[in-house]
Amino acid sequence: NAGVTQTPKFRVLKTGQSMTLLCAQDMNHEYMYWYRQDPGMGLRLIHYSVGEGTTAKGEVPDGYNVSRLKKQNFLLGLESAAPSQTSVYFCASSSYPGLVSSYNEQFFGPGTRLTVL
């Protein structure tokens, strides 16, 4: 099993350009997440999905859109990139989370390093 994969690994954009980051998981997980990580800061949740066809806002959703058309894929879109969106983006997936009795770790992809000039 590949686990969680992300494409691309690196990308440089100019301000105002758009792009889509792709996340794929082969663990049949219901929940998927997009985080951004900035230097000296933890991971901040952008958007998440609790199942195919559903999406929800996280802590920092502005400037991003997401789609979950297939259970195994979660796409993150930037419609008009800004320098403030320069960051490392991580996708993660998990089985049903938050259940106290469940062993519900999140599995992370390798990340996408995005620079917006």
Query: Is residue 26 a contact residue for other proteins (CB under 8 A)?
Result: no
The Cα 115–Cα 11 span in angstroms is: 6
Residue 82 CB-half CA count within 13 A: 4
Tell me the window of 11-19, 67-75, 76-84, 96-104 that interacts with other proteins (CB under 8 A): 96-104
Query: Is residue 103 a contact residue for other proteins (CB under 8 A)?
Result: yes
Query: Is residue 43 a contact residue for other proteins (CB under 8 A)?
Result: yes
Query: Is residue 104 a contact residue for other proteins (CB under 8 A)?
Result: yes
Using the Cα atoms of residue 78, residue 73, residue 44 and residue 115 in order, give the sign of their dihedral.
negative
Query: Is residue 40 a contact residue for other proteins (CB under 8 A)?
Result: yes
Q: In terms of Cα–Cα distance, which of 15, 1, 4 is closest to 114?
A: 15
Task: Tell me whether residue 95 is exposed, middle or buried, using C-beta atoms within 10 angstroms of its C-beta: 0 to 12, 13 to 18, 19 or more.
Answer: middle
Query: Is residue 111 a contact residue for other proteins (CB under 8 A)?
Result: yes
Query: Is residue 108 a contact residue for other proteins (CB under 8 A)?
Result: yes
**Footprint on this chain of other proteins (rule: CB under 8 A):** 31, 33, 35, 40-45, 48, 50, 56, 58-59, 90, 92, 97-101, 103-111
